[in-house]
Structure 1
Amino acid sequence: MITVTIEDPDQPAILAMLRAGEANSAALYPAESNHHLPLASLRAPGVLFHVARDAQGLALGTGAVVAHGDWGEIKRMWTDPAARGRGVARAVLEALEQAARDAGLRLLRLETGVHSHAALALYRRAGFVEIAAFEGYAPDPLSVFMEKTLAC
């Protein structure tokens, strides 16, 4: 059983997960193609940071929605490698979509890397479509920009 709830990211286990995600990105992409929000930004108003946990309370994954007016951006999606294949990322994404709807957001956008094949597959299965670079980003051949209109 996986539960996904809004939590403060400033917890040792969560910070370790965020660092693992950053290290993974650094191994795949140059620094200018990585767009991680720092901890302070993840704790800011308008950010809904989620943590997936198993029945024993072990953190398995993270993700956040950052509100930008009437749309939101998905940030910091990460699943612990030991928990992959268990539906963690799907559960986090579904929780993020519901949180965005509850906040009155009409659409979600995201940026991910061209080499992040599992993430791209997840987003496509969830109904995200590719778009041009959006607010805050420049075109980057190593980035894929996507969005999904939310049904209210």
Structure 2
Amino acid sequence: MPLAITLVSPRDPRAAALLAESHALMDSLFPPEANAYLDIEALCDPSVTFYGAVEDGELLGCAALAHKDGYGEVKSMFVAPVARGIGVARRLLEHLEAAAEREGLHLLRLETGDKLAAAVSLYERYGYTRREPFGGYQTNGSSLFYEKAVSAPS
């Protein structure tokens, strides 16, 4: 079966394993105060929609759309190492942008790390522009902040 982006529970064992791998990577690259990842319980909050990239029953990547006051936030974007370089992150990001637009979220924001070159390249290639910290984020020496208008407000 071709790659499909679908709703997935963060409690799904495949998702939990992928999230654990993502969190371990973040913990290895950044100091604790710079890690803003959401745990499984936070990803299960009704204000967050969690998606998985599934192919042949295997979860290859995940991403979440957190509904904030006046914008959506891209969270938990992660692709399994075996699936990198084949467009999984691109497909997840496109799906999040389309979902945000459908849900009336005309602005997407995100935080990523300065050591995540592939992520930074993806976001910049898709038109995300650097901005100052937003929400509860603070400048910490390794976080980068981006935003993108996904549709014109009506």
TM above 0.5: yes
- The answer as to 2:46 corresponding to 1:49 is no
Whether the aligned pair in 2 keeps the contact of 1:4 and 1:50 (CA below 8 Å) is yes
1:84-112 deviations in Å (ceiling 9; x for gaps): 01100000001111111111101000000
Unaligned residue ranges in structure 2 (runs of 5+): none
Give me the TM-score of the superposition, normalised by structure 1: 0.96
Please tell me whether the aligned partners of residues 130 and 146 of structure 2 are also in contact (alpha carbons under 8 angstroms). Answer: yes
Contact 1:70 1:104 survives alignment (8 Å): no
Q: Which residue pairs with 1:21 in the alignment?
A: 22
2:97, 2:44 → 1: CA distance?
Answer: 19
Match of 2:103 in 1: 103
- Counterpart of 1:87 in structure 2 is 87
The CA distance in 2 between the partners of 1:139 and 1:76, in whole Å, is 20
Percent identical across equivalent pairs? 40
Q: Secondary structure at the match of 2:33?
A: helix
Rounded Cα–Cα distance in structure 2 between residues aligned with 1:12 and 1:135: 30
Contact 1:7 1:51 in 2 (8 A): yes
CA displacement at 1:70 relative to structure 2: 2.3
Q: For 1:38 and 1:113, how far apart are their aligned partners in 2?
A: 18
Offset of 1:39 from its aligned partner? 0.9
Q: Which stretches in structure 1 are left out of the alignment for 5+ residues? A: none
Displacement after TM superposition at 1:57 (Å): 1.6
Letter in 2 for 1:110: L
C-alpha displacement of 1:69: 2.3
Match of 1:150 in 2: 150
Once superposed, which parts of structure 1, at least 4 consecutive aligned residues long, lie more than 2 Å away? Answer: none
* Letter in structure 2 aligned against 1:118: A
Structure 2 partner of 1:112: 112
Output the CA distance in 1 between the equivalents of 2:5 and 2:63: 10
Q: Distance in 2 between matches of 1:127 and 1:83?
A: 23
Aligned length: 151
Q: Which residue of 1 aligns with 2:39?
A: 38
- Contact 2:106 / 2:150 at 8 angstroms: preserved in 1? yes
SS in 2 for 1:99: helix
The answer for the alignment partner of 1:7 in structure 2 is 8
Q: Using the alignment, how far apart are the partners of 1:31 and 1:38 within structure 2?
A: 14
Deviation at 1:64, TM superposition (A): 0.3
Question: Which amino acid in 2 is paired with 1:69?
Answer: D
Query: SS of the residue aligned with 1:59?
Result: strand
